[in-house]
């Protein structure tokens, strides 16, 4: 197990944090206030800005996943390859982020898109990043206030981005991990996509040979909140994941794979390696074999 603090925050705890004038370190020095990012996004669109303007957490800044949390490349790079360091730094500064800020990210999809921002910020060296457990629905359920309309542009920040804080995989490393009997490569997509029964967006149905099906929906309770840590540990244990197991995660395009990583950290397990290109990159490379069925 790791001693890392929970990557999740409740609506009540966030409300208390936003109500404080500032945060203080153990040494008594003033720290930056919480920054809140709204990452509402759906596969195939439209962008979530209209939903943001209908109601968002006061002070939140809208983040567009397609243009700010992903790069653009060849099909073999996947549908949502990682942005460049420079592009991500420019985006994060537009959101008003500074070095030392604590950040909360949320969405309206049980954290499955907000986790992409969580992972990227952690990968970029931001230490204190949380995902609002249950997203905007949890905020509404707590009867907390919402702001409407376009948000004023934040004062630009000065965050310094340096990628490399979290482990990643390329296609060769993902294949090696899947073939290693002492390791596990988790596929976060729906089971029917893993088995190759349906494939709505990628060129070849199926999965990376040797991968294990682990849909992200299995990390959530009936309200869309993350399962308790003990339940998550039981789930990952059943998938063959222990505290010392080398683990990689992938999905369709690297977005919900970050949610699988979030669930593992919430369970107290080490951060897995993320295959950012994921199945969209793999299936666009004719040299890569695909498997169908349950194995």
Active site residues: 251
Whether 175 and 238 have beta carbons less than 8 Å apart is answered as no
Main-chain dihedrals φ then ψ at residue 37, nearest 5 degrees: -120, 130
Whole-number Å distance between alpha carbons of 133 and 259: 12
Residues shown for the chain: 295
Residue 24 forms beta bridges with which residues?
30
- Phi, psi of 187, deg, nearest 5: -105, 115
Cβ within 8 Å of residue 97, ≥6 positions away: 35, 103, 126, 157, 159
282 Cβ contact partners less than 8 Å away, ≥ 6 residues apart: 171, 174, 208, 250, 288, 290
Q: What angle do CA 5, 89, 45 make, to 5 degrees?
A: 85
């Amino acid at each position: 197990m790791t001693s890392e603090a929970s990557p999740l925050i409740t609506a009540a705890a966030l409300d208390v944090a936003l109500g404080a004038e500032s945060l203080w370190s153990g040494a008594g020095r003033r720290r930056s206030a919480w920054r809140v990012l709204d990452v509402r996004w759906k596969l195939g669109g439209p962008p979530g800005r209209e939903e943001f303007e209908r109601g968002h957490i006061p002070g939140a800044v809208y983040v567009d996943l397609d243009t700010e949390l992903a790069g653009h490349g060849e099909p073999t790079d996947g549908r949502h390859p990682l942005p460049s360091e420079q592009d991500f730094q420019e985006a994060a500064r537009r959101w008003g982020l500074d070095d030392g800020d604590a950040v909360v990210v949320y969405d309206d999809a049980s954290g499955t898109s907000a986790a992409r921002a969580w992972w990227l910020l952690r990968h970029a060296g931001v230490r204190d990043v949380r995902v609002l457990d249950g997203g905007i629905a949890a905020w509404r359920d707590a009867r907390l206030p919402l702001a409407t309309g376009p948000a004023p542009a934040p004062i630009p920040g000065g965050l310094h981005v340096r990628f490399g804080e979290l482990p990643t995989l390329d296609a060769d490393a993902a294949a090696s991990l899947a073939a290693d009997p002492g390791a596990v490569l988790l596929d976060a997509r729906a089971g029917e996509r893993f088995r190759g029964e349906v494939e709505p967006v990628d060129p070849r149905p199926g999965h990376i040979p040797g991968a294990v099906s682990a849909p992200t929906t299995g990390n959530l309770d009936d309200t869309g909140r993350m399962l308790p840590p003990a339940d998550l540990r039981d789930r990952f244990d059943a998938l063959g994941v222990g505290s010392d197991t080398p683990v990689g995660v992938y999905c369709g395009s690297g977005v919900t794979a970050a949610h699988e990583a979030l669930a593992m950290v919430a369970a107290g397990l080490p951060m897995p390696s993320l295959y950012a290109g994921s199945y969209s990159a793999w299936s666009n490379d004719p040299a890569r074999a695909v498997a169908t069925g349950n194995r």
